[in-house]
């Protein structure tokens, strides 16, 4: 007896349903770490790759010195101070407890040596000497630190001293510390190079850099450790492999070994799981846009800064780009004026938006151009 058409269709349907459906690849979960809070971000895009309690208020300990260095670097950039300035060491700076550069009261020390003593040796005494030289006293310098923190968007941070010694009103978050670390590296690469120095000698005393990543990961080049009993063991790390730089923040680990292992685990997870691609460099023309009433009809437009996408590994072929252009552009247009946005997407998910700007100036055209464009716009 031949099977009916209905039974054949039912058999085919059961066969199709029995075929296993291939699941979409998922991003591996970050490792479990010994830390009260942590954060892993891509330096170029700011994309968060892993986090735990990243916005919880925590004590920064000597991570504070990253903000101290940033504030001093800003003063150097403004040419209000110089690296070869000779700083008189006060009794307050000399008496500061904790880790020391071993400066001596009444002696003069170059600003550059004080910075290296703070960055490489984590000198609390050097931090106070720098604060007093820049702002007159520690309290005024703390106000400067807080002003920079607000400008950088560190809305959950408050600083009361330049070295991170315990204070009930001294606090931050892992996310805020990542913000200042990124700003320091981006704005001051020439000074950031000091963070990878393995040791520094002052007054005949050589001290090693306290950052264990520098000796355990050849791609690591910064940035700072911290410890107090209340804060636990903290470490902000930075590493660069090929064109990808990651920033890791680990706060509140139980031991020096735990913070080092947590930082390495985060960095390795990020580099293993994600990849970054520079899609359009800053200043590269992407499109010639139609402009009305200008000396010429079109104007070259490009990204305001490098267009970089951080995505899970193996997903590059799913990236797409589009331009969202400002309608009805009219001359005159200044160089750098915003003309729209470059939008990068991974499948249906938006990855990043970068302003699209004019790559040169376009002055207003003459009477003939005005009359011609007015006529064309009517139709």
What pLDDT is attached to residue 378? Answer: 81
Say whether the peptide bond before residue 223 is cis (omega within 30 degrees of 0): yes
Could you tell me which CATH number the domain at 37-274 has? 3.40.710.10
pTM, to two decimals: 0.87
Q: In whole angstroms, what is the distance from residue 330 CA to residue 365 CA?
A: 10
Question: What dihedral do alpha carbons 341, 347, 352, 356 form, nearest 10°?
Answer: -20
**Is it the case that residue 189 has pLDDT exceeding 60?**
yes
Q: In whole angstroms, what is the distance from residue 76 CA to residue 61 CA?
A: 25
Quick one: what percent of the chain has pLDDT higher than 70? 93
CB 118 within 8 A of CB 195: no
Average pLDDT over residues 336-351: 95
**Is it the case that residue 61 has pLDDT exceeding 60?**
yes
224 labelled ligand-binding: yes
What pLDDT is attached to residue 375? Answer: 87
Could you tell me which CATH number the domain at 281-377 has? 2.60.410.10
Average predicted confidence (pLDDT) for the chain: 93
pLDDT tens digits for 291-311?
A: 999 999 999 999 999 999 999
Residues with a catalytic annotation lie at: 62, 65, 122
pLDDT tens digits for 192-227?
A: 999 999 999 999 999 999 999 999 999 999 999 999
61 vs 378, residue with greater confidence? 61
| CATH 2.60.410.10 domain locations along the chain | 281-377
Distance from CA of residue 207 to its chain's centroid?
Answer: 28
What pLDDT is attached to residue 25? Answer: 54
What pLDDT is attached to residue 374? Answer: 86
What pLDDT is attached to residue 272? Answer: 97
Q: For the chain, what is the HEC assignment?
A: CCCCHHHHHHHHHHHHHHCCCCCCCCCCCCCCCCCCEEEEEECCCCCEEEEECCCCCECCHHHHHHHHHHHHHHHHHCCCCCCCCEEECCHHHHHCCCCCCCCCCCCEEEHHHHHHHHHCCCCHHHHHHHHHHHHCCHHHHHHHHHHHHHHCCCCCCECCCCCCCCCCCCEECHHHHHHHHHHHHHHCHHHHHHHHCCEEEECCEEEECCCCHHHHCCCEEEEEEEEECCCEEEEEEEEEECCEEEEEEEEEECCHHHHHHHHHHHHHHHHHHEEEEEEECCCCCCEEEEEECECCCEEEEEECCCEEEEEECCCHHHEEEEEEECCCEECCECCCCEEEEEEEEECCEEEEEEEEEECCCECECCHHHHHHHHHHHCC
**Chain length of the chain:** 379
What pLDDT is attached to residue 23? Answer: 41
What pLDDT is attached to residue 371? Answer: 87
Q: In whole angstroms, what is the distance from residue 310 CA to residue 271 CA?
A: 11
| CATH 3.40.710.10 domain locations along the chain | 37-274
Q: In whole angstroms, what is the distance from residue 220 CA to residue 241 CA?
A: 9
Average pLDDT over residues 277-298: 94
Phi first, then psi, for residue 104 (nearest 5°) are: -115, 140
What pLDDT is attached to residue 17? Answer: 45
Average pLDDT over residues 165-194: 98
Distance from CA of residue 293 to its chain's centroid?
Answer: 41
Q: In whole angstroms, what is the distance from residue 74 CA to residue 347 CA?
A: 41
Q: In whole angstroms, what is the distance from residue 296 CA to residue 361 CA?
A: 11
Say whether the peptide bond before residue 332 is cis (omega within 30 degrees of 0): yes
Helices 124-135 and 138-151, interaxial angle, to 10°?
A: 90
Distance from CA of residue 24 to its chain's centroid?
Answer: 30
Q: In whole angstroms, what is the distance from residue 231 CA to residue 54 CA?
A: 15
pLDDT tens digits for 145-161?
A: 999 999 999 999 999 99
pLDDT tens digits for 2-59?
A: 444 444 334 444 444 444 443 445 788 999 999 999 999 999 999 999 999 999 999 9
CB 111 within 8 A of CB 131: no
**Is it the case that residue 334 has pLDDT exceeding 50?**
yes
């Amino acid at each position: 007896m031949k099977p009916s058409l209905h039974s054949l269709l039912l058999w085919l349907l059961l066969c199709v349903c029995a075929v296993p459906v291939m699941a979409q690849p998922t991003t591996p979960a970050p490792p479990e770490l010994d830390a009260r809070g942590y954060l892993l971000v891509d330096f170029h895009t700011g994309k968060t790759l892993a986090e735990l309690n990243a916005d919880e208020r925590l004590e920064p300990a000597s991570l504070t010195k990253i903000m101290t260095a940033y504030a001093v670097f800003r003063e150097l950039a403004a040419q209000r101070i110089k690296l070869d300035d000779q700083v008189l060491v006060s009794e307050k700076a000399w008496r500061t407890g904790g880790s020391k550069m071993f400066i001596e009261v009444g002696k003069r020390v170059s600003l550059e040596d004080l910075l290296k003593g703070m960055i490489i040796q984590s000198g609390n005494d050097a931090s106070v000497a720098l604060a007093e030289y820049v702002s007159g006293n520690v309290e005024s310098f703390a106000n400067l630190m807080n002003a920079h923190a607000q400008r950088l968007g560190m809305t959950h941070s408050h600083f009361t001293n330049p070295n991170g010694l315990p204070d009930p009103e001294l606090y931050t978050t892992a996310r805020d510390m990542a913000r200042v670390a990124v700003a320091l590296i981006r704005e001051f690469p020439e000074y950031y190079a000091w963070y990878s120095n393995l040791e520094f000698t002052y007054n005949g005393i050589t001290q090693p850099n306290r950052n264990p990543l520098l000796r355990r990961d050849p791609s690591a080049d910064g940035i700072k450790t911290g410890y107090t009993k209340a804060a636990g063991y903290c470490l902000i790390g930075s590493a660069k492999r090929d064109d990808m730089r990651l920033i890791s923040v680990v706060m509140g680990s139980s031991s020096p070994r735990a913070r080092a292992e947590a930082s390495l685990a985060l960095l390795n997870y990020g580099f293993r799981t994600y990849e970054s691609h520079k899609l359009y460099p800053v200043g590269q023309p992407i499109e010639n846009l139609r402009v009305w009433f200008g000396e010429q009809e079109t104007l070259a437009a490009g990204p305001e800064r490098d267009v970089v996408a951080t995505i899970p590994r193996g997903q590059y072929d799913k990236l797409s780009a589009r331009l969202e252009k400002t309608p009805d552009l009219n001359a005159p247009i200044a160089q750098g004026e915003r003309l729209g946005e470059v939008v990068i997407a991974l499948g249906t998910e938006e990855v990043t938006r970068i302003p699209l700007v004019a790559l040169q100036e376009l002055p207003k055209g003459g009477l003939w151009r005005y009359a011609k464009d007015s006529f064309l716009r009517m139709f």
